[in-house]
Chains A and B, each alone.
Chain A
Amino acid sequence: MARGGPDTVVARPGDWVLVYSIVLPPGGRAPAVPPETQAVPLEMRVKGFLVDRAAGRAPARGDVVTVRTLSGRLVAGTLLDVNPVIPPTFGSPVAELLAVGPELRGRLGGGSWT
Protein backbone atom coordinates (compact mmCIF):
# COMPACT_ATOMS: atom_id res chain seq x y z
CA MET A 1 0.00 0.00 0.00
CA ALA A 2 1.22 3.45 -0.84
CA ARG A 3 -0.52 6.67 -0.06
CA GLY A 4 0.43 9.97 -1.64
CA GLY A 5 -1.72 13.04 -2.20
CA PRO A 6 -5.47 12.73 -2.56
CA ASP A 7 -5.33 11.80 -6.23
CA THR A 8 -2.36 9.49 -6.16
CA VAL A 9 -3.81 6.73 -3.99
CA VAL A 10 -2.79 3.37 -5.39
CA ALA A 11 -3.63 -0.05 -4.07
CA ARG A 12 -2.12 -3.50 -4.17
CA PRO A 13 -3.89 -6.86 -3.95
CA GLY A 14 -4.70 -7.62 -0.35
CA ASP A 15 -4.98 -3.96 0.68
CA TRP A 16 -8.00 -2.96 2.81
CA VAL A 17 -9.87 -0.56 0.53
CA LEU A 18 -13.13 1.34 0.22
CA VAL A 19 -15.16 1.06 -2.98
CA TYR A 20 -18.15 3.02 -4.16
CA SER A 21 -21.08 2.42 -6.50
CA ILE A 22 -24.48 3.83 -7.38
CA VAL A 23 -27.31 1.48 -6.47
CA LEU A 24 -30.30 3.47 -7.72
CA PRO A 25 -30.07 6.51 -10.02
CA PRO A 26 -31.85 9.82 -9.35
CA GLY A 27 -35.49 9.32 -10.26
CA GLY A 28 -35.24 5.56 -9.70
CA ARG A 29 -35.62 5.81 -5.94
CA ALA A 30 -38.46 4.51 -3.78
CA PRO A 31 -41.67 6.36 -4.68
CA ALA A 32 -42.24 7.79 -1.20
CA VAL A 33 -38.93 9.65 -0.72
CA PRO A 34 -39.05 13.47 -0.59
CA PRO A 35 -37.94 15.45 -3.69
CA GLU A 36 -34.46 16.33 -2.35
CA THR A 37 -33.74 12.61 -1.91
CA GLN A 38 -35.35 11.60 -5.22
CA ALA A 39 -32.98 14.06 -6.94
CA VAL A 40 -29.83 12.25 -5.78
CA PRO A 41 -28.67 8.65 -6.35
CA LEU A 42 -28.67 5.93 -3.69
CA GLU A 43 -24.95 5.39 -3.16
CA MET A 44 -23.14 2.46 -1.59
CA ARG A 45 -19.75 2.21 0.09
CA VAL A 46 -18.25 -1.17 0.92
CA LYS A 47 -14.84 -2.12 2.34
CA GLY A 48 -12.86 -5.24 1.62
CA PHE A 49 -9.52 -6.69 0.61
CA LEU A 50 -8.52 -5.80 -2.95
CA VAL A 51 -8.44 -8.94 -5.08
CA ASP A 52 -7.40 -7.65 -8.50
CA ARG A 53 -5.34 -5.05 -10.27
CA ALA A 54 -5.92 -3.07 -13.40
CA ALA A 55 -3.99 -4.23 -16.45
CA GLY A 56 -0.32 -3.42 -16.14
CA ARG A 57 -0.45 -1.11 -13.10
CA ALA A 58 -1.64 -0.84 -9.54
CA PRO A 59 -5.22 0.46 -9.42
CA ALA A 60 -5.62 4.09 -8.44
CA ARG A 61 -8.53 6.06 -7.09
CA GLY A 62 -11.32 6.08 -9.68
CA ASP A 63 -10.54 2.65 -11.15
CA VAL A 64 -13.20 -0.05 -10.97
CA VAL A 65 -11.89 -2.87 -8.79
CA THR A 66 -13.17 -5.94 -6.96
CA VAL A 67 -12.87 -6.55 -3.23
CA ARG A 68 -13.52 -9.53 -0.98
CA THR A 69 -15.60 -8.32 1.95
CA LEU A 70 -15.46 -9.54 5.56
CA SER A 71 -18.48 -11.79 4.85
CA GLY A 72 -16.65 -13.34 1.90
CA ARG A 73 -18.58 -11.66 -0.93
CA LEU A 74 -16.90 -10.32 -4.06
CA VAL A 75 -18.03 -6.75 -4.70
CA ALA A 76 -17.07 -4.49 -7.62
CA GLY A 77 -16.90 -0.73 -7.28
CA THR A 78 -14.91 2.40 -7.91
CA LEU A 79 -11.83 2.64 -5.69
CA LEU A 80 -12.30 5.52 -3.24
CA ASP A 81 -9.63 5.01 -0.61
CA VAL A 82 -6.93 2.68 0.65
CA ASN A 83 -6.75 1.87 4.35
CA PRO A 84 -9.53 4.41 5.06
CA VAL A 85 -9.31 6.30 8.34
CA ILE A 86 -11.74 5.16 11.06
CA PRO A 87 -13.78 8.34 11.25
CA PRO A 88 -15.68 8.80 14.50
CA THR A 89 -14.12 11.03 17.16
CA PHE A 90 -15.32 12.45 20.45
CA GLY A 91 -15.51 15.94 18.92
CA SER A 92 -14.59 19.05 20.91
CA PRO A 93 -15.40 19.87 24.53
CA VAL A 94 -18.83 21.48 24.80
CA ALA A 95 -18.96 24.41 27.24
CA GLU A 96 -22.72 24.03 27.68
CA LEU A 97 -22.18 20.49 28.98
CA LEU A 98 -19.03 21.21 30.99
CA ALA A 99 -21.09 23.49 33.21
CA VAL A 100 -23.70 20.85 34.06
CA GLY A 101 -21.65 18.62 36.37
CA PRO A 102 -20.49 21.35 38.77
CA GLU A 103 -24.01 22.85 38.87
CA LEU A 104 -25.67 19.57 39.77
CA ARG A 105 -23.00 18.56 42.28
CA GLY A 106 -23.36 21.95 43.88
CA ARG A 107 -27.08 21.39 44.31
CA LEU A 108 -26.62 18.04 46.03
CA GLY A 109 -23.82 19.25 48.27
CA GLY A 110 -20.27 18.04 48.66
CA GLY A 111 -18.69 15.01 50.29
CA SER A 112 -20.45 11.72 50.77
CA TRP A 113 -23.90 11.88 49.29
CA THR A 114 -25.75 8.95 50.72
Chain B
Amino acid sequence: MDLESRSYEAVMDRRSDILRRSTGIDYEAYRQGRFAFDYEAMMAGAGYSIERARQVQAGANVGNTPLLELRNLTRLARSVSPAGRGARIFVKDEAANPSGSFKARRAALSVREAFEKGYPGVIAATSGNYGAAVASQAAASNLPCIVVQEVFDSRGVGQPEILEKTRACEAYGAEVVQLTVGPELFYVQLLLLEETGFFNASLYTPFSVAGIETLGYEVAEDCRKATGKDPDVVVITHAGGGNVTGTARGLAKAGCRGATVVGASVDLHGLHMASDRDFNRKSFTTGHTGFGVPFAVWPDRADVVYSAARPLRYLDRYYTVTQGEVFYMTEALAQLEGLERGPAGNTSLAVAFSLAGELPDDAVLVVQETEYTGAGKHPTAQLTFARENGVTVRRGDPADDRPGEVIVIPERPEQVRAREVSLEDLRRSYLRHAWQVGGADIGVVDKDFFTAELRLDRERVDSILRDLASAGGGT
Protein backbone atom coordinates (compact mmCIF):
# COMPACT_ATOMS: atom_id res chain seq x y z
CA MET B 1 0.00 0.00 0.00
CA ASP B 2 1.44 3.38 -0.94
CA LEU B 3 2.03 6.09 1.62
CA GLU B 4 -0.83 8.25 0.47
CA SER B 5 -3.43 5.52 0.94
CA ARG B 6 -2.09 4.98 4.49
CA SER B 7 -2.58 8.63 5.52
CA TYR B 8 -4.98 9.24 8.39
CA GLU B 9 -7.55 10.90 6.15
CA ALA B 10 -7.38 8.27 3.40
CA VAL B 11 -7.89 5.39 5.83
CA MET B 12 -10.74 7.12 7.63
CA ASP B 13 -12.42 7.66 4.24
CA ARG B 14 -12.42 3.88 3.74
CA ARG B 15 -13.84 3.31 7.24
CA SER B 16 -17.38 2.27 6.28
CA ASP B 17 -16.21 -0.34 3.79
CA ILE B 18 -13.62 -1.76 6.15
CA LEU B 19 -16.16 -1.98 8.98
CA ARG B 20 -18.77 -3.69 6.84
CA ARG B 21 -16.29 -6.33 5.70
CA SER B 22 -14.79 -6.85 9.13
CA THR B 23 -18.04 -7.14 11.11
CA GLY B 24 -20.29 -8.72 8.49
CA ILE B 25 -22.90 -6.12 9.44
CA ASP B 26 -24.53 -4.05 6.70
CA TYR B 27 -25.09 -0.97 8.82
CA GLU B 28 -26.66 0.89 5.88
CA ALA B 29 -29.58 -1.53 5.96
CA TYR B 30 -30.60 -0.03 9.32
CA ARG B 31 -30.28 3.64 8.33
CA GLN B 32 -33.54 5.62 8.64
CA GLY B 33 -32.50 9.26 8.59
CA ARG B 34 -29.57 11.61 9.05
CA PHE B 35 -29.15 10.25 12.61
CA ALA B 36 -31.91 7.69 13.03
CA PHE B 37 -31.39 3.98 12.57
CA ASP B 38 -33.40 0.92 13.56
CA TYR B 39 -31.60 -0.01 16.76
CA GLU B 40 -33.78 -2.97 17.72
CA ALA B 41 -33.58 -4.40 14.20
CA MET B 42 -29.79 -4.14 14.34
CA MET B 43 -29.71 -5.95 17.70
CA ALA B 44 -32.08 -8.66 16.46
CA GLY B 45 -30.10 -8.97 13.23
CA ALA B 46 -27.09 -10.17 15.20
CA GLY B 47 -29.01 -13.36 15.89
CA TYR B 48 -28.17 -13.80 19.57
CA SER B 49 -31.23 -14.28 21.71
CA ILE B 50 -30.64 -14.66 25.45
CA GLU B 51 -30.94 -18.43 25.03
CA ARG B 52 -28.40 -18.59 22.22
CA ALA B 53 -26.02 -16.20 23.96
CA ARG B 54 -26.14 -18.31 27.13
CA GLN B 55 -25.57 -21.47 25.15
CA VAL B 56 -22.52 -20.02 23.37
CA GLN B 57 -21.13 -18.66 26.62
CA ALA B 58 -21.68 -21.91 28.49
CA GLY B 59 -19.77 -23.67 25.71
CA ALA B 60 -16.93 -21.21 26.24
CA ASN B 61 -16.89 -21.61 30.05
CA VAL B 62 -18.16 -18.03 30.40
CA GLY B 63 -20.91 -16.72 32.69
CA ASN B 64 -22.88 -18.31 35.52
CA THR B 65 -20.70 -16.45 37.98
CA PRO B 66 -21.67 -16.42 41.67
CA LEU B 67 -23.69 -13.62 43.26
CA LEU B 68 -22.01 -12.92 46.60
CA GLU B 69 -23.61 -11.12 49.51
CA LEU B 70 -21.26 -8.52 51.01
CA ARG B 71 -22.47 -8.86 54.58
CA ASN B 72 -19.69 -6.89 56.22
CA LEU B 73 -19.84 -4.00 53.78
CA THR B 74 -23.60 -3.95 54.37
CA ARG B 75 -22.93 -3.80 58.13
CA LEU B 76 -20.43 -1.01 57.58
CA ALA B 77 -22.93 0.95 55.47
CA ARG B 78 -25.60 0.50 58.17
CA SER B 79 -23.15 1.63 60.86
CA VAL B 80 -22.86 5.02 59.17
CA SER B 81 -26.54 5.40 58.20
CA PRO B 82 -29.69 6.45 60.06
CA ALA B 83 -31.66 3.60 61.70
CA GLY B 84 -33.63 1.55 59.19
CA ARG B 85 -31.29 2.48 56.32
CA GLY B 86 -28.60 0.42 54.61
CA ALA B 87 -29.57 -1.85 51.73
CA ARG B 88 -28.21 -5.38 51.43
CA ILE B 89 -25.26 -5.23 49.04
CA PHE B 90 -24.57 -8.08 46.63
CA VAL B 91 -21.87 -8.39 44.00
CA LYS B 92 -21.76 -10.49 40.86
CA ASP B 93 -18.27 -11.98 40.93
CA GLU B 94 -17.47 -11.59 37.26
CA ALA B 95 -13.78 -12.04 38.01
CA ALA B 96 -14.65 -15.75 37.96
CA ASN B 97 -14.86 -15.62 34.14
CA PRO B 98 -11.97 -17.17 32.16
CA SER B 99 -10.10 -13.88 31.56
CA GLY B 100 -11.07 -12.38 34.93
CA SER B 101 -13.81 -9.93 33.97
CA PHE B 102 -17.32 -9.67 32.51
CA LYS B 103 -15.67 -8.80 29.19
CA ALA B 104 -15.39 -12.54 28.56
CA ARG B 105 -19.15 -12.46 27.88
CA ARG B 106 -18.72 -9.91 25.08
CA ALA B 107 -15.68 -11.69 23.68
CA ALA B 108 -17.36 -15.10 23.65
CA LEU B 109 -20.01 -13.96 21.16
CA SER B 110 -17.61 -11.91 19.04
CA VAL B 111 -15.14 -14.76 18.69
CA ARG B 112 -17.94 -17.23 18.02
CA GLU B 113 -19.19 -14.94 15.26
CA ALA B 114 -15.71 -14.68 13.74
CA PHE B 115 -15.31 -18.46 13.88
CA GLU B 116 -18.69 -19.25 12.35
CA LYS B 117 -18.31 -16.71 9.55
CA GLY B 118 -14.88 -18.08 8.67
CA TYR B 119 -12.75 -15.06 9.47
CA PRO B 120 -9.06 -16.01 9.72
CA GLY B 121 -8.59 -14.18 13.04
CA VAL B 122 -9.88 -11.42 15.34
CA ILE B 123 -8.76 -7.88 16.14
CA ALA B 124 -9.80 -5.72 19.09
CA ALA B 125 -8.75 -2.13 19.69
CA THR B 126 -8.90 -1.75 23.45
CA SER B 127 -6.57 -0.99 26.34
CA GLY B 128 -8.85 -2.62 28.89
CA ASN B 129 -9.93 -6.06 30.09
CA TYR B 130 -11.72 -6.65 26.81
CA GLY B 131 -8.40 -7.23 25.02
CA ALA B 132 -7.50 -10.08 27.34
CA ALA B 133 -11.04 -11.42 27.03
CA VAL B 134 -10.85 -11.56 23.22
CA ALA B 135 -7.37 -13.05 23.42
CA SER B 136 -8.61 -15.69 25.86
CA GLN B 137 -11.64 -16.63 23.77
CA ALA B 138 -9.58 -16.62 20.55
CA ALA B 139 -7.08 -18.94 22.21
CA ALA B 140 -9.84 -21.39 23.08
CA SER B 141 -11.00 -21.31 19.43
CA ASN B 142 -7.43 -21.46 18.05
CA LEU B 143 -7.94 -18.21 16.15
CA PRO B 144 -5.07 -15.74 15.70
CA CYS B 145 -5.69 -12.53 17.63
CA ILE B 146 -4.33 -8.98 17.53
CA VAL B 147 -5.05 -6.47 20.28
CA VAL B 148 -4.30 -2.80 19.63
CA GLN B 149 -3.62 -0.82 22.81
CA GLU B 150 -2.84 2.77 23.78
CA VAL B 151 0.00 2.19 26.24
CA PHE B 152 2.74 4.84 26.32
CA ASP B 153 3.17 8.58 26.46
CA SER B 154 5.79 10.19 24.20
CA ARG B 155 8.46 9.63 26.89
CA GLY B 156 7.90 5.90 26.43
CA VAL B 157 6.39 5.60 29.91
CA GLY B 158 3.62 3.00 29.97
CA GLN B 159 0.49 3.14 32.13
CA PRO B 160 0.95 0.18 34.54
CA GLU B 161 -2.63 -1.07 34.22
CA ILE B 162 -2.32 -1.19 30.43
CA LEU B 163 1.10 -2.84 30.59
CA GLU B 164 -0.59 -5.55 32.63
CA LYS B 165 -3.23 -5.91 29.90
CA THR B 166 -0.44 -6.29 27.35
CA ARG B 167 1.03 -9.06 29.45
CA ALA B 168 -2.34 -10.78 29.83
CA CYS B 169 -3.05 -10.66 26.08
CA GLU B 170 0.36 -12.14 25.32
CA ALA B 171 -0.22 -14.82 27.95
CA TYR B 172 -3.24 -15.89 25.88
CA GLY B 173 -1.13 -15.96 22.73
CA ALA B 174 -2.27 -12.68 21.15
CA GLU B 175 -0.11 -10.20 19.31
CA VAL B 176 -0.25 -6.81 20.99
CA VAL B 177 0.32 -3.63 19.00
CA GLN B 178 1.32 -1.02 21.56
CA LEU B 179 0.74 2.61 20.61
CA THR B 180 1.42 5.98 22.14
CA VAL B 181 -1.41 8.26 23.28
CA GLY B 182 -4.08 9.21 20.80
CA PRO B 183 -7.42 8.27 19.27
CA GLU B 184 -5.56 6.94 16.20
CA LEU B 185 -5.80 3.55 17.86
CA PHE B 186 -8.82 3.13 15.59
CA TYR B 187 -6.85 4.21 12.53
CA VAL B 188 -4.25 1.53 13.22
CA GLN B 189 -7.03 -0.98 13.81
CA LEU B 190 -8.56 -0.17 10.41
CA LEU B 191 -5.17 -0.65 8.71
CA LEU B 192 -4.76 -4.01 10.44
CA LEU B 193 -8.28 -5.11 9.50
CA GLU B 194 -7.45 -4.34 5.87
CA GLU B 195 -4.09 -6.07 6.03
CA THR B 196 -5.29 -9.27 7.72
CA GLY B 197 -8.96 -9.69 6.77
CA PHE B 198 -9.58 -10.49 10.47
CA PHE B 199 -12.92 -9.97 12.24
CA ASN B 200 -13.41 -6.66 14.07
CA ALA B 201 -14.23 -7.81 17.60
CA SER B 202 -15.36 -4.31 18.48
CA LEU B 203 -16.76 -3.48 21.90
CA TYR B 204 -19.63 -1.77 20.14
CA THR B 205 -21.16 -4.40 17.85
CA PRO B 206 -24.52 -6.03 18.63
CA PHE B 207 -22.60 -9.26 19.34
CA SER B 208 -20.61 -7.58 22.07
CA VAL B 209 -23.63 -5.95 23.72
CA ALA B 210 -25.79 -9.09 23.41
CA GLY B 211 -23.01 -10.85 25.29
CA ILE B 212 -23.67 -8.63 28.33
CA GLU B 213 -27.42 -9.19 28.27
CA THR B 214 -26.78 -12.56 29.89
CA LEU B 215 -25.19 -10.73 32.82
CA GLY B 216 -28.30 -8.66 33.45
CA TYR B 217 -30.41 -11.78 33.04
CA GLU B 218 -28.32 -13.71 35.59
CA VAL B 219 -28.40 -10.78 38.03
CA ALA B 220 -32.21 -10.97 38.05
CA GLU B 221 -32.24 -14.77 38.36
CA ASP B 222 -29.54 -14.95 41.03
CA CYS B 223 -31.10 -12.15 43.04
CA ARG B 224 -34.50 -13.84 43.05
CA LYS B 225 -32.85 -17.04 44.21
CA ALA B 226 -30.90 -15.33 46.99
CA THR B 227 -33.50 -12.87 48.26
CA GLY B 228 -36.84 -13.97 46.87
CA LYS B 229 -37.26 -10.74 44.94
CA ASP B 230 -35.90 -8.57 42.16
CA PRO B 231 -33.04 -6.19 42.88
CA ASP B 232 -34.18 -2.68 43.78
CA VAL B 233 -31.03 -1.07 42.39
CA VAL B 234 -28.37 -2.40 40.01
CA VAL B 235 -25.13 -0.40 39.89
CA ILE B 236 -23.05 -0.66 36.74
CA THR B 237 -19.61 0.79 36.03
CA HIS B 238 -20.02 2.97 32.96
CA ALA B 239 -17.40 3.78 30.33
CA GLY B 240 -18.20 3.11 26.66
CA GLY B 241 -21.84 2.30 27.42
CA GLY B 242 -21.94 -1.42 26.62
CA ASN B 243 -22.01 -2.53 30.24
CA VAL B 244 -25.01 -0.32 31.08
CA THR B 245 -26.82 -1.13 27.83
CA GLY B 246 -26.33 -4.90 27.91
CA THR B 247 -27.06 -5.28 31.62
CA ALA B 248 -30.23 -3.19 31.45
CA ARG B 249 -31.46 -5.08 28.39
CA GLY B 250 -30.77 -8.38 30.12
CA LEU B 251 -32.66 -7.29 33.24
CA ALA B 252 -35.64 -6.34 31.08
CA LYS B 253 -35.50 -9.67 29.22
CA ALA B 254 -35.63 -11.44 32.59
CA GLY B 255 -38.80 -9.51 33.36
CA CYS B 256 -37.07 -7.33 35.93
CA ARG B 257 -38.41 -3.93 35.02
CA GLY B 258 -38.61 -2.28 38.41
CA ALA B 259 -34.90 -2.10 39.21
CA THR B 260 -33.29 1.31 39.11
CA VAL B 261 -30.38 1.19 36.65
CA VAL B 262 -27.50 3.24 38.02
CA GLY B 263 -24.33 4.10 36.11
CA ALA B 264 -21.07 4.72 37.97
CA SER B 265 -17.87 6.36 36.69
CA VAL B 266 -14.64 7.55 38.24
CA ASP B 267 -14.48 11.33 38.09
CA LEU B 268 -11.56 12.38 35.87
CA HIS B 269 -12.83 15.83 34.96
CA GLY B 270 -10.16 18.14 33.60
CA LEU B 271 -7.98 15.37 32.16
CA HIS B 272 -8.04 15.22 28.35
CA MET B 273 -8.15 11.62 27.15
CA ALA B 274 -6.10 12.31 24.01
CA SER B 275 -3.48 14.41 25.83
CA ASP B 276 0.09 13.14 25.84
CA ARG B 277 0.60 15.10 29.08
CA ASP B 278 -2.53 13.97 30.96
CA PHE B 279 -2.26 10.30 29.95
CA ASN B 280 -0.09 9.17 32.85
CA ARG B 281 -1.66 11.45 35.43
CA LYS B 282 -4.68 9.20 35.89
CA SER B 283 -4.90 6.02 37.96
CA PHE B 284 -7.89 4.53 36.17
CA THR B 285 -7.76 3.65 32.50
CA THR B 286 -11.42 2.74 32.16
CA GLY B 287 -14.73 3.16 33.95
CA HIS B 288 -14.14 6.89 34.10
CA THR B 289 -15.90 10.05 32.96
CA GLY B 290 -13.39 10.54 30.13
CA PHE B 291 -15.24 7.74 28.36
CA GLY B 292 -18.51 7.72 30.28
CA VAL B 293 -19.64 11.23 29.39
CA PRO B 294 -18.62 11.39 25.69
CA PHE B 295 -19.98 7.90 24.97
CA ALA B 296 -23.27 8.81 26.64
CA VAL B 297 -23.75 12.08 24.77
CA TRP B 298 -22.56 10.66 21.45
CA PRO B 299 -22.39 6.85 21.20
CA ASP B 300 -21.44 6.65 17.50
CA ARG B 301 -17.85 7.70 18.01
CA ALA B 302 -16.28 4.25 18.11
CA ASP B 303 -14.97 1.66 15.69
CA VAL B 304 -18.39 0.82 14.20
CA VAL B 305 -20.92 2.80 12.16
CA TYR B 306 -23.74 2.50 14.67
CA SER B 307 -22.84 1.63 18.24
CA ALA B 308 -24.95 -1.04 19.94
CA ALA B 309 -24.06 0.61 23.27
CA ARG B 310 -26.57 3.40 23.89
CA PRO B 311 -26.48 4.23 27.61
CA LEU B 312 -28.93 7.13 27.74
CA ARG B 313 -31.66 4.71 26.65
CA TYR B 314 -31.16 2.76 29.86
CA LEU B 315 -29.66 4.90 32.63
CA ASP B 316 -32.05 5.92 35.41
CA ARG B 317 -29.33 7.64 37.47
CA TYR B 318 -25.65 8.36 36.91
CA TYR B 319 -23.10 8.99 39.68
CA THR B 320 -19.39 9.65 39.92
CA VAL B 321 -16.89 8.81 42.63
CA THR B 322 -13.26 9.86 43.02
CA GLN B 323 -10.22 7.70 42.37
CA GLY B 324 -9.45 7.82 46.10
CA GLU B 325 -12.94 6.59 47.01
CA VAL B 326 -12.58 3.60 44.67
CA PHE B 327 -9.16 2.72 46.10
CA TYR B 328 -10.65 2.96 49.60
CA MET B 329 -13.54 0.64 48.72
CA THR B 330 -11.15 -1.74 46.98
CA GLU B 331 -9.22 -1.96 50.23
CA ALA B 332 -12.48 -2.41 52.17
CA LEU B 333 -13.57 -5.25 49.87
CA ALA B 334 -10.28 -7.06 50.46
CA GLN B 335 -10.08 -6.38 54.19
CA LEU B 336 -13.72 -6.91 55.19
CA GLU B 337 -14.93 -9.45 52.66
CA GLY B 338 -11.72 -11.26 51.78
CA LEU B 339 -12.17 -10.44 48.10
CA GLU B 340 -9.13 -8.90 46.41
CA ARG B 341 -10.52 -7.51 43.16
CA GLY B 342 -10.17 -4.54 40.84
CA PRO B 343 -9.78 -1.62 41.39
CA ALA B 344 -11.49 -0.33 38.22
CA GLY B 345 -14.39 -2.78 38.52
CA ASN B 346 -15.02 -1.48 42.04
CA THR B 347 -16.18 1.90 40.77
CA SER B 348 -19.73 0.60 40.96
CA LEU B 349 -19.06 -0.80 44.43
CA ALA B 350 -18.04 2.64 45.70
CA VAL B 351 -21.23 4.18 44.32
CA ALA B 352 -23.27 1.28 45.71
CA PHE B 353 -21.80 1.71 49.19
CA SER B 354 -22.77 5.36 49.14
CA LEU B 355 -26.30 4.67 47.85
CA ALA B 356 -26.88 1.79 50.29
CA GLY B 357 -27.06 4.22 53.17
CA GLU B 358 -29.90 6.12 51.49
CA LEU B 359 -32.01 3.01 50.87
CA PRO B 360 -34.16 1.13 53.40
CA ASP B 361 -32.50 -1.89 55.01
CA ASP B 362 -34.84 -4.31 53.24
CA ALA B 363 -33.78 -3.01 49.83
CA VAL B 364 -31.46 -5.10 47.65
CA LEU B 365 -28.63 -3.47 45.79
CA VAL B 366 -26.59 -5.42 43.25
CA VAL B 367 -23.14 -4.43 42.03
CA GLN B 368 -22.99 -6.29 38.74
CA GLU B 369 -19.26 -6.91 38.35
CA THR B 370 -15.89 -7.53 39.85
CA GLU B 371 -12.67 -7.84 37.87
CA TYR B 372 -9.40 -9.64 38.58
CA THR B 373 -6.54 -7.75 40.11
CA GLY B 374 -2.86 -8.06 39.33
CA ALA B 375 0.48 -6.33 39.01
CA GLY B 376 0.15 -2.91 37.40
CA LYS B 377 -3.54 -2.48 38.06
CA HIS B 378 -3.49 -3.10 41.82
CA PRO B 379 -3.99 0.02 44.02
CA THR B 380 -0.40 -0.16 45.29
CA ALA B 381 0.89 -0.19 41.71
CA GLN B 382 -1.34 2.67 40.63
CA LEU B 383 -0.64 4.86 43.66
CA THR B 384 3.12 4.23 43.42
CA PHE B 385 2.91 5.25 39.75
CA ALA B 386 0.78 8.31 40.56
CA ARG B 387 3.43 9.55 42.99
CA GLU B 388 6.19 8.97 40.42
CA ASN B 389 4.22 11.19 38.06
CA GLY B 390 3.85 14.07 40.47
CA VAL B 391 0.39 13.30 41.83
CA THR B 392 -0.08 13.83 45.58
CA VAL B 393 -1.60 10.92 47.51
CA ARG B 394 -2.99 11.61 50.98
CA ARG B 395 -5.78 10.86 53.43
CA GLY B 396 -8.57 13.37 53.79
CA ASP B 397 -11.98 14.42 52.53
CA PRO B 398 -12.66 13.11 49.01
CA ALA B 399 -14.23 16.48 48.21
CA ASP B 400 -10.63 17.76 47.95
CA ASP B 401 -9.71 15.21 45.25
CA ARG B 402 -8.41 16.82 42.04
CA PRO B 403 -7.86 14.47 39.05
CA GLY B 404 -4.25 14.53 37.92
CA GLU B 405 -3.10 16.46 40.98
CA VAL B 406 -4.38 15.04 44.26
CA ILE B 407 -5.77 11.62 45.12
CA VAL B 408 -7.50 11.72 48.49
CA ILE B 409 -8.07 8.41 50.29
CA PRO B 410 -11.08 8.89 52.59
CA GLU B 411 -10.45 8.83 56.35
CA ARG B 412 -13.86 7.42 57.23
CA PRO B 413 -16.45 5.32 55.34
CA GLU B 414 -19.12 8.02 55.70
CA GLN B 415 -16.93 10.24 53.49
CA VAL B 416 -17.58 7.95 50.50
CA ARG B 417 -20.26 10.01 48.78
CA ALA B 418 -21.31 9.44 45.20
CA ARG B 419 -22.08 12.63 43.30
CA GLU B 420 -25.00 12.60 40.88
CA VAL B 421 -24.54 13.68 37.27
CA SER B 422 -27.56 15.33 35.68
CA LEU B 423 -28.91 13.07 32.94
CA GLU B 424 -30.90 16.05 31.74
CA ASP B 425 -27.62 17.87 31.03
CA LEU B 426 -26.29 14.83 29.16
CA ARG B 427 -29.45 14.66 27.06
CA ARG B 428 -29.08 18.31 26.15
CA SER B 429 -25.43 17.69 25.24
CA TYR B 430 -26.51 14.83 22.99
CA LEU B 431 -28.94 17.06 21.14
CA ARG B 432 -26.40 19.89 21.00
CA HIS B 433 -23.94 17.55 19.32
CA ALA B 434 -26.57 16.39 16.83
CA TRP B 435 -27.44 19.99 16.12
CA GLN B 436 -23.81 20.94 15.59
CA VAL B 437 -22.99 18.14 13.16
CA GLY B 438 -26.22 18.23 11.15
CA GLY B 439 -28.82 20.58 12.57
CA ALA B 440 -30.32 21.45 9.20
CA ASP B 441 -30.80 17.77 8.34
CA ILE B 442 -32.73 16.70 11.44
CA GLY B 443 -35.99 15.27 10.17
CA VAL B 444 -39.13 13.87 11.78
CA VAL B 445 -37.70 10.35 11.84
CA ASP B 446 -34.59 11.67 13.62
CA LYS B 447 -36.69 13.43 16.25
CA ASP B 448 -38.59 10.23 16.94
CA PHE B 449 -35.26 8.43 17.21
CA PHE B 450 -34.07 11.03 19.75
CA THR B 451 -37.14 10.46 21.93
CA ALA B 452 -36.13 6.77 22.21
CA GLU B 453 -32.45 7.58 22.63
CA LEU B 454 -33.04 10.12 25.37
CA ARG B 455 -36.28 8.90 26.97
CA LEU B 456 -37.81 12.31 26.39
CA ASP B 457 -41.20 13.04 24.91
CA ARG B 458 -41.36 14.59 21.48
CA GLU B 459 -42.39 17.95 22.84
CA ARG B 460 -39.28 18.13 25.01
CA VAL B 461 -37.03 17.13 22.10
CA ASP B 462 -38.61 19.82 19.93
CA SER B 463 -38.25 22.41 22.65
CA ILE B 464 -34.55 21.70 23.22
CA LEU B 465 -33.89 21.75 19.46
CA ARG B 466 -35.72 25.07 19.17
CA ASP B 467 -33.57 26.53 21.95
CA LEU B 468 -30.45 25.32 20.15
CA ALA B 469 -31.63 26.82 16.87
CA SER B 470 -32.30 30.21 18.39
CA ALA B 471 -28.93 30.15 20.16
CA GLY B 472 -27.10 28.96 17.05
CA GLY B 473 -26.39 25.55 18.57
CA GLY B 474 -23.79 26.88 20.92
CA THR B 475 -25.55 26.89 24.28
Q: Interface segment, B70-78, B255-263, B313-321? A: B70-78
Contact of A36 among B275, B335, B409 (CB under 8 A): B275
Residues of chain B contacted by A105 (CB below 8 angstroms): 335-336
Contact of A90 among B144, B158, B375 (CB under 8 A): B375
A85-114: CB near B (< 8 Å → 1, else 0) gives 011111111101101110011011000011
Q: How far is the CB of B127 from chain A (nearest CB, A)?
A: 13
A3 within 8 Å of B (CB atoms): no
A44 within 8 Å of B (CB atoms): yes
B377-414: CB near A (< 8 Å → 1, else 0) gives 11111111100000001110000000000000100010
Which residues in chain A, 38-90, are within 8 Å of chain B measured between CB atoms? Answer: 39-48, 69-73, 86-90
Q: Is the CB of B384 within 8 A of A91?
A: yes
Residues of chain B contacted by A30 (CB below 8 angstroms): 8, 182-184, 187, 274
Which residues in chain A, 5-55, are within 8 Å of chain B measured between CB atoms? Answer: 23-24, 28-30, 32-34, 36-37, 39-48
With contacts A40-B180, A108-B75 known, is A23 near B188, CB below 8 A? yes
Residues of chain A contacted by B195 (CB below 8 angstroms): 73
Q: Is the CB of B175 within 8 A of A46?
A: yes
Residue among A23, A71, A113 facing the most chain B CB atoms (10 A cut-off): A71
A86 to B176, CA, bound (A): 13
With contacts A30-B184, A44-B179 known, is A91 near B154, CB below 8 A? no
**Across the two chains, which residue of chain A brings its CB closest to B144?**
A71
Q: How far is the CB of A67 from chain B (nearest CB, A)?
A: 10
Which residues in chain B, 388-444, are within 8 Å of chain A measured between CB atoms? Answer: 393-395, 409, 413
With contacts A37-B182, A97-B409 known, is A89 near B381, CB below 8 A? yes
Contact of A87 among B146, B158, B184, B328 (CB under 8 A): B158
A114 to B332, CA, bound (A): 17
B171-187: CB near A (< 8 Å → 1, else 0) gives 00111111111111001
B90 within 8 Å of A (CB atoms): no
**Across the two chains, which residue of chain A brings its CB closest to B382?**
A91
Residues of chain B contacted by A71 (CB below 8 angstroms): 121, 144-146, 174-175, 196
Q: Interface of A with B (CB < 8 Å)?
A: 23-24, 28-30, 32-34, 36-37, 39-48, 69-73, 86-94, 96-97, 99-101, 104-105, 107-108, 113-114
